[in-house]
Amino acid sequence: MKLLLSTLGLVAALVAHPVSAATDVESPQGLLKGQLPDNAPALKRVAITTFFVQYVTDFGIETKRSRGGTFYSKWKDPAPELLQGTSNALYAQLVTDLKAAGIDVVPADQVAAQASMAELRSAARPSPAPINDSSIRKASTLVSAQDLPLTLATLPDAKLSSYATKPIEGTDPPGNLIGWDQQASEWLLGSNAELSSLATIYFGQAKLAKGLNATALNVRLTLPLVDLGVTTAGSAGGGLFGSAKVTGLVKPNARFVEAGTVFSFAQDGGNPGHRHVLGLQKPVPISGLKVSMDIDKKTLDETIFGTQSARGQGLLGALSGATGANNNAADFWVSVDAADFQAALVSAGSTIFKELAQILVNAK
C-alpha cells in the first residue's frame, strides 16, 4: 500500500508539474541516440549527479532444448580497489572530455553541497552493490564514482529495436538460445529500481538542477568481458534416451555494451530517466585489455537426468550460484590483467564521452 501511494503521488505530481519537451538526437558517429530536453542552454552546463559502472562478473546462457545446458562464465577475483579506482578514473575522463568540448561542468564539491543531494543519498544503496538476477542470468557489481549516490531509477536499460552484439562465430543462432535476445536489451532489470523512492529521486534531481542552474547528468556504463555461445548436436528435443551433446563456447569480448550504457538528464521541469535518455547503440570494444580463460570449450552429455552445468541443474542452480551458495563454481573462469585495466577502460570510455560532448555542444 505504501508503494502504491508513493507511485500514485508521483504520477499526480508529474501531471501537475510541467514536463519539458524532448528532442531526438544522434551523435556524429552514431554511437549514441535518444532524446534530450529542449532547454538547450542548460545542456551547456551540467552537474554530474550519479555515475556508476556496472561490472558484469557472472554471465550465463542456456539452450532452448527440453533439457538444455546452462553455461556460466565468472570473473575470477576482481579486486575492489581496482574497480573503484577505474570508476573514479572514468568519471575524471568524462569531466575532461566535456570541458574540452566547451561544456561547463559544475565542480563535484558544489554538487555535493546541494541540499537535494542529501535526498538522493537517502534513496541510494551502498556502493559497491551486488546485483543478481537469475531471470537474465547475470550477476554484476555496481561501483559508484566519487562517492556519488548509487540510484538505479534514473538509469534503466535503454530498449533497442535490435541489438548489435551477435552470437560468437560457429554457434547456434539466437533462436536456439535463451539469453541472446535479452543480452543486449536487459543488463539491469527494472525490478532493481528504487520504486518506493521515485518521488524523492525525481524531485531531488529537479531541485538540484534548478539550484545549480544546470542539467543534472546521470551516467551508467556496463562492461562484460566475454561472449558465450552454444552449439548442439543430436535430436532437437534431446529425447529421453538421446545422446545429444550441448557444447558451450566462450571468447574474450571486453566492451561497453549497448542498452546497458546509458546517459540520462534532468532539468527543472523535466522528467529524468524516462524521456530524456541517450543509449549506446552498438558495442565499443576495449582494446589493450588482456583477458584469458582457463578453457574455451565445454561439452555436456544429455541423459535421462538432463544436463548438468557447473552451478547445478536449471534455474535453481542459477539462483544458488548467483546468490552466494556454490559461488566458486563456473564452467569458464575469466582472468584479467590488472596492469592495463584502468587505462584500457578509460581510453574506450573516452570515445563515448566525446560523442556525448558533441551532442551537448550542438544541442539546439
pLDDT of 57 above 50: yes
The pLDDT-based confidence of 353 (bands split at 50, 70, 90) is: very high
| Percent of the chain predicted with pLDDT > 90 | 42
Which residue would you say has higher pLDDT here, 141 or 238? 141
Phi-psi region of 273 (alpha: psi -120 to 50; beta: other; left: phi over 0): left
How do residues 82-99 score in pLDDT, each as one tens digit?
999 999 999 999 999 999
pTM: 0.87
- Between the two ends of the chain, the Cα-to-Cα distance in Å is 43
What does the mean pLDDT of the chain come to? 80
Cα angle, residue 80 at apex, residues 292 and 134 outer, rounded to 5°: 70
Which residue would you say has higher pLDDT here, 79 or 188? 79
| Percent of the chain predicted with pLDDT > 70 | 74
* Spatial CA neighbour of 127 closest among 109, 154, 146: 146
* 219's grid cell: 551516467
Mean local confidence (pLDDT), 251-280: 83
Domain coordinates in residue numbering, the chain = 23-361
pLDDT of 15 above 50: no
List the beta bridge partners of residue 51.
Answer: 219
* Spatial CA neighbour of 168 closest among 237, 234, 255: 255
pLDDT of 308 above 70: no
The pLDDT-based confidence of 162 (bands split at 50, 70, 90) is: low
